[in-house]
Structure 1
Amino acid sequence: MTQRTTMGTLPPDWFLKVRLKLRHLQLFLALDDHRNLHRAAASLAMSQPAASKLLGELEGRLGVQLFERHSRGIEPNWYGEVAVRHARHILSSLQQTGDELNALGAGNAGAVSIGTVMAPAVTLISRALERVHQQLPNLKVSVDVDVSPVLVPRLLEGEFDMVISRIPTDQDPSRFVFEEIGEEAISIVCRRDHPLAHKASPSLAEMATYPWSLQPPGALMRQRVDHLLMYHNVTPPARIINTSDILVSLALVARSDTLTVISQDVAELLCDPERFRVLPTEEALSVQPYGLITLRQHRLSPGAAALTTVLREVMAEQPLSRASQAPDAS
């Protein structure tokens, strides 16, 4: 990928000097999404010549090319990737500003968006939301549940005010404030009448003879299971269904001899003893700690700050994870 390197050092108010407009930011995103100048222009109700002129004028003022033009279309170079990333964050922040202003205008206490991995969604966040709504009954809160590698980039792009997850290894931890909550205890679950359900201490080798439904390779719980089998020199199951959807996994478990691995808190909430069993294991199983993550150089809205305060209160009241307390038999 070729780069033009004639750009000098930009002053703090560079965006004023180059006359940066919101239309430029919208064009950056449209070009990144469509990778085609004609389609990007059409999505913004612009003509292709007008879009080309808008981009070219800004690149000229900056003294650097942001997008590479070629026969297959157009794509951001390294400079363009920086511009696109920050454009997404700026436009997302502006949208959130509108949401908060609308909420305040309607007599509400603002709006908060939070992302979380599964375990705290059913324990920590549910308690925090109940408490914060006693203080701010009109606070609008949206909660998205996903895995850490999806949540943290969305936090960086401004889609969330905070997330409860882990910092992925491909992210610079210096960009975040991480407040550890605790390890996530996990359980191996089967149906109530599974052949292993009433064994006092089924071995991993016995479990591995049955089908499993697991998170996709690379996911944290999947890594823990893979390591556990490797550590005990057990051949992995011959049939594994890869899915990050817990309801799909539990449906398979309920209807067959499939086993699955889920958070202990989620198992207690969703796994009715009349239908499911948690298999005993020789050692306490857990995955690395998760925590409350916010952006280091980002000021929270009043509603987000209030929710963060309540989350910290609930975190302080929460006992150590059972995985941390249990003796490790390994």
Structure 2
Amino acid sequence: MGALTADWFFRARLKLRHLYLFVVIGEQGNLHKSAELMGISQPAASRLLAEIETRLGQSLFERHGRGLTPNPFGQLMIRRARAVLDELGDAGEEFNAISAGLLGVVNIGAVMEPAVTLVPQTIEQVHKDRPGLKITVHVADSRALVNGLMDGHFDFIIARIPAGFPGDAFVFEEIGEEDLCFICSDSHPMGERNPPELTDLADYPWTLQPPGTLMRQRIEDLFRHRGVDFPRWVVDTSDLPASLALVDRSEFITVATHKVAALLCDTARFRILNARNKLSVQPYGLVSLRRQRLSPAVASVMEEIRRRM
């Protein structure tokens, strides 16, 4: 017998029923019983075995009156066949798990408020029900998130659809508004004047989201409508930790949603400055591409979010 090449099984036209026959003979040691288990006749089982032995150019079993005993080559084939069939069995279980949304990867994008409220609550429940799912969460402003959704970086986002994007390209399921407030350090001079006058706040340095973002636009509109000059010194950043570091170390003021601010102010290092009138931005929602085909995993996470909306 010559050496087998790496693709020997292809050349030998090895089939799954050959592998199954190896395993069953290894367990039964008898061709008649093996044929019964496979639901074929004994002559058919005998032909299958002879077929593969001929193609390999090597006998795999010792024939004797009591049945069949695998020789070293047969033992090898039985061991490997069992491993292949076990892998295929596992593949079936994984297939069913993926179909049921129990396995897979889900990439989520979210603006700040749902990223610290709705998304963690959802992930907590998903982890209990479907621990095989891998979830990634990216936090950014709505414009960056919508661009990411259209580019295929996210399966869905929790955000707004800014002007300039084709609204008919998305499915938007409204969740709610974000109510805004100002945040300063616990030692800030304005901390004792709550709610403060906007004219007083304008004299302090601010750190805000970059121009063009919805939250920045809302703050600019607030100053303009009140007839108050916009703060002269503003640090632009969409990174909340960077903003908080400035607020914590100096007299900077920043803006966040009430729910985010409530989490931050539990540390007692920050203080909420309430606006004199309601300050909010347009509603955000669950956003997906209209023509997108969702995987079972993605669909299951979105459904968990809907239950909490």
Identity of aligned residues (%): 48
Q: Is the 2:102–2:297 contact (alpha carbons within 8 Å) kept by the matching residues of 1?
A: no
Instruction: Show the counterpart of 2:277.
Output: 283
Q: C-alpha offsets along residues 165-199 of structure 1, whole Å, 9 cap, x if unaligned? A: 11121110101100000001111011111111011
TM-superposed CA distance for 1:280, in Å, is 2.4
Residue from 155, 159, 166 that aligns with 1:172? 166
Cα distance in structure 2, aligned partners of 1:237 and 1:306 = 45
Q: 1:183 aligns with which of 177, 180, 187?
A: 177
In the alignment, is the contact (CA less than 8 A) between 1:108 and 1:140 conserved in 2? no
Structure 1 unmatched ranges of 5 or more:
1-99, 316-330
Give yes or no for contact 2:158–2:284 (8 Å, CA) kept in 1. Answer: yes
Identify the residue that residue 235 of structure 2 maps to in structure 1.
Answer: 241
The CA deviation at 1:108 is 6.3
Match of 1:211 among 205, 222, 225: 205
The answer to whether the 8 A contact 1:192-1:273 is kept is no
Match status 1:113 vs 2:113: no
Could you tell me which residue of structure 2 aligns to residue 194 of structure 1? Answer: 188
What is the distance in 2 between the residues matched to 1:162 and 1:280? 32
CA drift at 1:273:
5.0
- The aligned counterpart of 2:247 is 253
Counterpart CA distance in 2 for 1:184 and 1:263 is 6
Taking structure 1 as reference, are residues 108 and 289 closer, same or farther at Cα in structure 2, changes over 3 Å only?
closer
Report the secondary structure of 2:262's partner residue. Answer: helix
Q: C-alpha deviations, 1:218-243, integer Å up to 9, x for none? A: 11111111111111111111211111
* Aligned-residue CA RMSD (Å): 2.0
Q: Distance in 1 between matches of 2:295 and 2:287?
A: 15
- Structure 2, unaligned stretches of length 5 or more? 1-93
TM-score in terms of structure 1 length = 0.62
Question: Deviation per CA, 1:123-161, whole angstroms, max 9, x where unpaired?
Answer: 001111111222111111111111111111221122211
- Aligned partner of residue 236 in structure 1, secondary structure: coil
Determine which of 302, 305, 309 is the counterpart of 1:311.
305
8 Å Cα contact 2:160/2:284 also seen in 1: yes
Structure 1 runs (4+) deviating above 3 angstroms are none
Q: Relative to structure 1, is the Cα distance of residues 200 and 147 closer, same or farther in structure 2, using a 3 angstrom cutoff?
A: closer
- Deviation track 1:62-82 (CA, whole Å, cap 9, x = no partner) reads xxxxxxxxxxxxxxxxxxxxx
For residues 245 and 278 of structure 1, the distance between their equivalents in structure 2, rounded to whole angstroms, comes to 19
The answer on whether the counterparts of 2:156 and 2:288 sit within 8 Å (CA) in structure 1 is yes
Aligned counterpart for 1:222 among listed residues 191, 216, 222: 216
| Cα distance between partner residues in 1 of 2:135 and 2:195 | 44
Secondary structure at the counterpart of residue 154 of structure 2: coil
Letter in 1 for 2:160: R
Tell me which residue corresponds to 1:271.
265
Give the match for residue 148 of structure 2.
Answer: 154
